[in-house]
Structure 1
Amino acid sequence: MPKETFLKLNEAKRKQITDAFLKECAVKTYDEASVSVVVKKLGIAKGSIYQYFDNKLDLFLYLIGECSAVKMPYVESIKREDYSDFWSYFRDLFLCGYRFDKENPLQSHFLHSLLENLNSPSIKHLFKDMMKQTVSAFEGIVENEIELGLFKNNMPIKTMGFLLYKVGVSIQEELLFEGAINPLKSIESNSPIYEGKKELLMQKVDDYIALVKPSFNKKQL
């Protein structure tokens, strides 16, 4: 958590510092990201950062919390109970993600690269903990759909949860592989990752849904 000295800074100063570190951590892994590089760009003393945060990890966790807080209202703007089937809801989550990316490109870039950052050797434990929490959340989604009688109940929930999690990851990975998105290039111009790619993104989402839907859905009699 940031120290009181950081919270007492005026909003413009806090944003300047936050944005600078978001950009650094969006283009480099955690171990590669440099506090020295950022403070040089900001024109402030390196020691001042440690008056605001206990250490680099404390700063990084603050960035995760800030970006997650910005994204959460987009995710929470739709409710599962408002949809008759899971996959329509799942699809609209990507539309929410697209709006988040469009309106908050810097935070979107940071979260887009978060898994790679967390996979840095010095914070592997965080990667494992976050993966467990994430996959557990998807297992909860699967359990809910089974209780609703919409998902199959003859497969391990852990396997179904992990596969559902990987669907979202795979969509991003394929778009990267195809060169349809280029986060390293778009962040330099402060552009959204998916700028001009909405139709391509949603077509990819529809393709993946078509592939995995029969594997999850319970056959209706």
Structure 2
Amino acid sequence: MIKKTFYNLPEEKRQRIINAVMQEFASSATEKVSINRIIKAANISRGSFYQYFDDKVDLVEVLVKTFADLSVEGGRKALQYSNGDIFYTYEKLFDIITDFGKDKKQKMILKNLMKNLRANDDLISEYLLNRFEGLAPFREFSNQFNRDCLKYKSDEDVKSLSQILTQVLKNAIFDVFVVGMDCDKVKKDFLRKLYIIKNGAVAIKN
């Protein structure tokens, strides 16, 4: 996992390391992630690298959390606009995150980035299966969801619902950015799943 020493770094140095990680993953010429290239680009020693990260999988988390952090403000606006509607907020989070791929420059970066993630399947699989914390910044929203229109209103129930929706969102993001599926098709499937969760799967008997 990413160590506290990384987050305690001065902003300029931490951003320089993040930029080096993004550059390494985004390079179209890179087939495998190289720690040597990262430490050279970031102008840090190998010893310093391991003071900040345990392994290469942490680098995937750096990337995911960087994009997630950029999405938080949009999530806050969605919450405010919808008066805390949990389903509307998750729908907008999908749009916010996938919008990174709509800007021409960002799209090229993400395209090359995802090529590298596919070339490093062991990294992305290990992270998504066992260490995924990329959507952690969205946890702050849990207490802001409006419970008036929810059937289950307790803290534990709302937390469970949020966890389910987060998993569905994670899978959709994976399909768009890693698998490379059509964004519109993924969104349609994502909204269908939100609808099923929102309305329930059990038929009400007369």
The alignment's TM-score, normalised by the length of structure 1, stands at: 0.52
User: How far has the Cα of 1:22 moved from its partner?
Assistant: 3.4
Does the residue aligned with 2:95 lie in a helix, a strand or coil? helix
What is aligned with 1:204? 189
Q: Distance in 2 between matches of 1:135 and 1:62?
A: 13
37, 47, 50: which is aligned to 2:45? Answer: 50
What is aligned with 2:90? 90
Q: Distance in 2 between matches of 1:70 and 1:154?
A: 30
Q: Distance in 2 between matches of 1:23 and 1:134?
A: 23
Q: Which amino acid aligns with 2:164?
A: L
What is aligned with 1:166? 167
What is aligned with 2:178? 183
Q: Which amino acid aligns with 1:163?
A: I
Q: Distance in 2 between matches of 1:166 and 1:206?
A: 14
Does the residue aligned with 2:152 lie in a helix, a strand or coil? coil
Deviation string, structure 1 residues 105-150 (Cα, Å, up to 9, x no partner): 446957xx68635369xxx6xx28x38x849928925x7332x343
128, 137, 140: which is aligned to 2:139? Answer: 137
CA contact under 8 A between 2:87 and 2:194: conserved in structure 1? yes
CA contact under 8 A between 1:145 and 1:151: conserved in structure 2? no
1:118 matches 2:119: no
User: How far has the Cα of 1:213 moved from its partner?
Assistant: 0.7
User: How far has the Cα of 1:207 moved from its partner?
Assistant: 1.0
Q: Distance in 1 between matches of 2:94 and 2:42?
A: 41
- In 2 relative to 1, CA 58–203 (structure 1 residues): closer, same or farther, beyond 3 Å? same
The alignment's TM-score, normalised by the length of structure 2, stands at: 0.55
What is aligned with 1:187? none
Q: Distance in 2 between matches of 1:215 and 1:138?
A: 26
* Identity across the alignment (%): 9
Q: Which amino acid aligns with 2:166?
A: Y
CA contact under 8 A between 1:138 and 1:162: conserved in structure 2? no
Q: Structure 1 stretches of 5 or more lacking a match?
A: 185-192, 217-221
What is aligned with 1:189? none
Aligned length: 174
User: How far has the Cα of 1:83 moved from its partner?
Assistant: 1.6
- In 2 relative to 1, CA 21–90 (structure 1 residues): closer, same or farther, beyond 3 Å? same
- In 2 relative to 1, CA 138–160 (structure 1 residues): closer, same or farther, beyond 3 Å? farther
Q: Structure 2 stretches of 5 or more lacking a match?
A: 1-5, 54-58, 118-122, 202-206
Does the residue aligned with 1:150 lie in a helix, a strand or coil? coil
Deviation string, structure 1 residues 149-191 (Cα, Å, up to 9, x no partner): 4342379525333322222123345xx4xxxx5737xxxxxxx
For the aligned residues, what is the CA RMSD?
4.9
1:214 matches 2:203: no
- In 2 relative to 1, CA 137–19 (structure 1 residues): closer, same or farther, beyond 3 Å? closer
Q: Which amino acid aligns with 1:20?
A: Q
CA contact under 8 A between 2:82 and 2:88: conserved in structure 1? yes
CA contact under 8 A between 2:90 and 2:169: conserved in structure 1? no
Deviation string, structure 1 residues 18-71 (Cα, Å, up to 9, x no partner): 4323337xx99xxx84313x36xxxx95994318x8214626376555444444
User: How far has the Cα of 1:215 moved from its partner?
Assistant: 3.4
Q: Distance in 1 between matches of 2:153 and 2:164?
A: 15
Does the residue aligned with 1:54 lie in a helix, a strand or coil? helix
User: How far has the Cα of 1:96 moved from its partner?
Assistant: 1.4
